[in-house]
A and B are shown apart, each in its own frame.
Chain A
Amino acid sequence: MTKKLRVKTGKAIDETYRISFKFNGKTYYGFKGDTLSSALLANDVHLVGRSFKYHRPRGIMTAGSEEPNAIVQLHDNSSRSEPNVRATEVEIYEGLDASSQNCWPSVKFDVGGINNFLSPLLPAGFYYKTFMWPASFWEKYEYFIRKSAGLGKSPTEPDPDVYEHKYIHCDVLVIGSGISGIMAAKTAAKNEFKTLLVDEKPNLGGSTIYQNSDYFKINNQNSNSWLEKEINEIKKLKNLEIKTRTSVAAYHGYNFLLARENLTDHLPVEQRKDKTRHKLLKIRAKKVITATGSIERPMVFDNNDRPGILLSSAIKRYADFFGVACGEKNVLFTNNDSAYETAISLIQKGINIEAIIDNREEVDSKLVYEVEKNNIKIFKGYTVTDTFGYKRINRISIKQLSKDGQKVVGPRINLSCDCLGVSGGWTPAVHLFTQSGGKLKFKDEDQVFIPNTYPSDQLSIGSCNGDFTLDEILKNTPKSLKEFLDIKNTEYESLEIISSTNKSKRNIWLLPSDKVIGKTKSFVDYQNDATAKDIKLALREGFRSIEHVKRYTTTGMGTDQGKLGNMHALGIISETAGVKMGELGTTTFRPPYTPLTFGTIVGRNVGEYFDIFRKTPIHSWHEVNKAEFENVGQWKRAWYYPKENENMHQAVQRESKAARESAGILDASTLGKIDIQGTDASEFLNRVYTNAWSKLAIGKCRYGLMLNEDGMVYDDGVTTRLDENHYIMTTTTGGAANVMSKLEDYLQTEWPELDVYLTSVTDHFATVSVCGPNSKKIVSEVIPDLDFSDESFPHMSFKNAKIGKINCRVMRISFTGEHSYEINIQANYGKSVWEKCMDAGKDYNITPYGTETMHLLRAEKGFIIVGQDTDATMTPIDLQMDWIVSKKKYDFIGKRSLYRSDTIREDRKQLVGLLTDDPNEILEEGAQIVADVNKSPIEMLGHITSSYYSPNLKKSIALGVVKGGKNMMGQKLIIPMEKKNINVTVADPVFLDKENKRLNA
């Protein structure tokens, strides 16, 4: 038997356009304009999900973004699969496929439902209390907890959609297009403010747009018709941009807001191709007007969560806007007048109302009289005490409230129903206001928190500011706008208003029941299954701060962030603890207001656009020659050049041998280069490096070590004196930008008196490094005019030269320990110089090598890599590099720190060489170093920082840091690995050519 649940035509519905969709595998039909929730309700489907903890059956509760229960998975098992979507916000389209979450095997029969019967065993903090002991069991507990926790399923395939970010600057941003938002947007735009109006829904007008009743009139028209005309007018305004389906997620300081504009989610999947799905709008507004409205409160009574229980305002919206009756036997339960607005709408549409239960004993209100005229039974001074029906409500029990509202009295009355609408009054949506840093105040008469002090140029208007009735909104909004926008007049000065709402309200945060509280399930947070009992338990156990109660009970911690239940939680705490609401404060509202997908957050910064990557001018050659690349900072550096089927180890062994035996070539363009000029350049270097610079002759190069002020090694590199007052400094590849910043910082803030100019020239030059016994022959062929004799061009010196007509700088410096030259040339000639070197080196088996071989070669020589062999705890003394620390200089950055009580300790970790007893055993970088494996606990002495198999020495070599290692030369140590202990001997970190014969060869 099909029920007739579509009533007249809803405002939003096009009944000529039928749409089919699937829910839990079954096909249903709805109309264009329906949301998933309105379409399901029209098909008499209330049960849509299971609750998080007790797996209780849950139904659609609201008609908006505050929905706690009806969260569904869309397009499961496809690349567009999306969990935790609110059915109330999904606009249906042909082919929509939605399914329930958190239930197995199905929403109608859910094995987890057993938790409902176990619930006495699952109180607040259950997980914290139970799974603590023994600690070693946690891994086993976790497996089962993870399995039963969580809501939807994450997609397993890459997101096929495209997302974008966009910056918007405007004079006035209006958030929310209810009646006050429309008035604000029109007033701002007409007064020459560049205005942006956003609303999360697909249409404008908020709840007034379907308020079609003689009891709410503006200038003699029903309020909906009046507003519709206003909307038609603002659509023509040139100064106003309107964005619907746009939800403000975050309101940061200085009026910076993030909003998500939803562009394709309402379209059939095949129409989304090549379209942007969401835009993340980054809005900077001079002024912000928040008109976010208010959210109706449910009420807290026993079993208040059954499918078929909805907010009274949601029932009205479904009837007026979507033309859907939520039930055939409706009962409304209220403590204020709003439920009567719903009743009048239902009466207009011929939807049956069985009864209204009103907490209030006496009400003098036109709306109530109107409802009574229609012979609807109103139980005044009554409350609902219990509800029945497992998968759908079928009956309620009511009882009379005592005078003080603390108890129920008299006989129990049972009423049968298939839908219960509840209205506990309204909570202003102050989420965005508080996110911006605004402070709230508590308004006793309405029992609400409203905006008090604004942290930026902003205004809250309408019901989010506590104006709940039409006449309050229409009177107060123009007044506020005039002051805020500094204008003389608005169009809304002399409106004739009929607004029949009586503001009386009987607010009882936790309604009394005839059962003891321990036997009730009165839900406060539906999504996280937190009940009034849980909150009381938390207070009994000593929690007082609202922030602590929230975390202990998980109230307000679901994806809905407690939009419905937070006020009740506060109310119950306030009543139980005897603290006034105003003094209790609220928990912090955090962005986003509604969940954002990761795609929206990252926008186009995915895949190859995730980060910038920098390529050297020689990059294309490396690509053609099949180099593998590694990321060094933002650079892509050639890592190694495998030949045929070589793996990395084989390639590196071959490259390393060639570099020592004949010639190797490295692209060193990524090294940071800073051009330093000025009459105080030498003095500046003296202050930033540990060694002395004043006496460096023009044309000579020197290695320098830079410390932080705390004495720890920061960077290193070779600096060349090009002229009296002109140096070029090289830095590590990864440290270049930081070194530049650090030097600028000291120059600008500590030593502004120095005449020094710094320019980053990293990208200006390509650097080709040729090393090995045959390097001199190769570079002599590339630059035939230059005198490469050792007398004229010794190690650590520099010469200007020309290749053809192009100037270049040639340094004879070495990071490999081999005789080697670096040619620096204008970047765009880099590749041609590289190729010239390759040509010239053909007869010498010149071998391109990458960063891995470079690391191996320098390790053979015991040269450190800052950041690999050092971390922020290594001084030059720890590195056994005392030779580079000037004793004569009065001061340099970090000098004083080198003799702090901590830095002079003998047992600091110091850099040493390590040789394995078995020369073929290669140690793992990062492995621990110990002396005694039998002592418990084993004392960790240090760790391996660099480790390689050296083809030139035909043995494994390693560098590591060891406590007191400097004085342990020749001592045996142990590297304990999973399967065995490896014996090593502490050695000099310089493994090859201690006398530097090869450098000068």
Chain B
Amino acid sequence: MFIITCPFCGEREQSEFKAGGEAHIVRPKQPTELSDDEWAEYLFMRKNIKGIQFERWNHTHGCRKWFNMVRDTSNDEIKAIYKMGEKPPIE
């Protein structure tokens, strides 16, 4: 069970959080202009890699804020945590 440093509340147990899938997938501004394939790319296609992954997390049992996390899925090491809208601190 991870210890996650919420950018608003500080260090907390993982049980207070909920994972929310891959980060940095922006909802298209004009969905109606997109082809089926382009829309499907946004809607369904997600990475599931062994290694560095960018993820969304929500402090559900705390401040309820969403934030981003960079995690190495091979060993669960949390490389970085940053607020929504901020640029990832690592590539």
Residues of A within 8 A of B (CB): 252-254, 256, 284, 437, 455, 709-710, 741, 744-745, 748-750, 752, 890-891, 895-897, 900-901
Contacts and interface: CB of A to CB of B under 8 A. Distances in A.
A745 B85 contact: no
Contacts of B36: 900-901
A479 B65 CA distance: 45
A895 B31 contact: yes
B16 interface: no
B2 A253 contact: yes
Contact of B58 (A284, A745, A900): A745
B64 interface: yes
A900 B30 CA distance: 15
Contact of A252 (B1, B39, B58, B84): B1
B20 A745 contact: yes
B76 A709 contact: no
Contacts of B1: 252-254, 256
Contact of A749 (B39, B56, B64): B56
A891 B66 contact: no
Nearest to A437: B75
A745 B66 contact: yes
B32 interface: yes
Contacts of A252: 1
Given A254-B2, A710-B43, A901-B36, A749 B66 contact: yes
Interface residues of B, number: 25
B40 interface: yes
12 contacts: A253-B75, A254-B3, A741-B58, A741-B60, A745-B20, A748-B65, A750-B27, A891-B31, A895-B31, A896-B31, A896-B32, A896-B34
Contact of A891 (B13, B32, B64): B32
Contact of A897 (B30, B39, B65, B66): B39
B4 to A, nearest CB: 9
A744 B31 contact: no
Contacts of A750: 26-27
A900 B31 contact: no
Interface string B34-69: 101001100100000000000010101000111000
B76 A253 contact: yes
A497 B36 CA distance: 77
A895 B66 contact: no
A896 B20 CA distance: 22
Given A437-B76, A741-B60, A752 B32 contact: no
Contact of A752 (B26, B39, B40, B85): B85
A437 B43 CA distance: 34
Contacts of B31: 891, 895-896
A896 B84 contact: no
A900 B40 contact: yes
Given A254-B3, A895-B32, 17 more contacts: A253-B2, A254-B1, A256-B1, A437-B75, A709-B43, A710-B43, A744-B64, A745-B66, A748-B84, A749-B56, A749-B84, A750-B26, A750-B27, A752-B85, A890-B32, A897-B43, A900-B40
A900 B43 CA distance: 11
A901 B40 CA distance: 11
B41 to A, nearest CB: 12
A453 to B, nearest CB: 10
A896 B66 contact: no
A683 to B, nearest CB: 15
A900 B34 CA distance: 11
Given A253-B1, A254-B3, A897-B43, A748 B34 contact: no
Contacts of A437: 75-76
Contacts of A748: 65-66, 84
A206 B49 CA distance: 44
A38 to B, nearest CB: 38
Contacts of B43: 709-710, 897
A916 B1 CA distance: 54
Interface of B: 1-3, 13, 20, 26-27, 30-32, 34, 36, 39-40, 43, 56, 58, 60, 64-66, 75-76, 84-85
Closest 7 CB pairs of A and B: A896-B31, A256-B1, A748-B66, A253-B76, A750-B27, A254-B3, A896-B39
A900 B32 CA distance: 11
Nearest to B64: A744
A890 B34 CA distance: 13
A891 B32 CA distance: 7
Nearest to A902: B36
Contacts of B34: 896
A436 to B, nearest CB: 10
A887 to B, nearest CB: 12
Nearest to B33: A896
B5 to A, nearest CB: 12
A981 B56 CA distance: 51
Nearest to A751: B27
B21 to A, nearest CB: 10
Contacts of B13: 284
Contacts of B58: 741, 745
A379 to B, nearest CB: 49
A744 B84 CA distance: 13
A66 to B, nearest CB: 28
Nearest to A901: B36
Contacts of B66: 744-745, 748-749
A401 to B, nearest CB: 44
A967 B2 CA distance: 54
B58 to A, nearest CB: 7
A890 B66 CA distance: 27
B3 A752 contact: no
Nearest to A255: B3
Nearest to B65: A748
Contacts of A455: 75
Nearest to B66: A748
A896 B36 CA distance: 9
Nearest to B83: A748
A897 to B, nearest CB: 7
Contacts of A741: 58, 60
Nearest to B13: A284
A486 to B, nearest CB: 21
A754 to B, nearest CB: 13
Contacts of A253: 1-2, 75-76
A905 to B, nearest CB: 13
Nearest to B56: A749
B13 to A, nearest CB: 8
A652 B14 CA distance: 45
A252 B84 CA distance: 29
Contacts of A710: 43
Nearest to A282: B1
A745 B75 CA distance: 28
A141 B35 CA distance: 54
A254 B39 CA distance: 39
B69 to A, nearest CB: 14
Most buried by B among A253, A437, A890: A253
B84 A900 contact: no
Contacts of B3: 254, 284
A885 to B, nearest CB: 13
Contacts of B75: 253, 437, 455
A749 B40 CA distance: 20
A284 B30 CA distance: 48
Contacts of B60: 741
Contacts of B65: 748
A869 B80 CA distance: 44
Nearest to B39: A896
B84 to A, nearest CB: 5
Nearest to B84: A749
A872 to B, nearest CB: 14
Nearest to A893: B27
A896 B3 CA distance: 39
Contacts of B27: 709, 750
Contacts of A254: 1-3, 76
A741 B32 CA distance: 25
B37 to A, nearest CB: 10
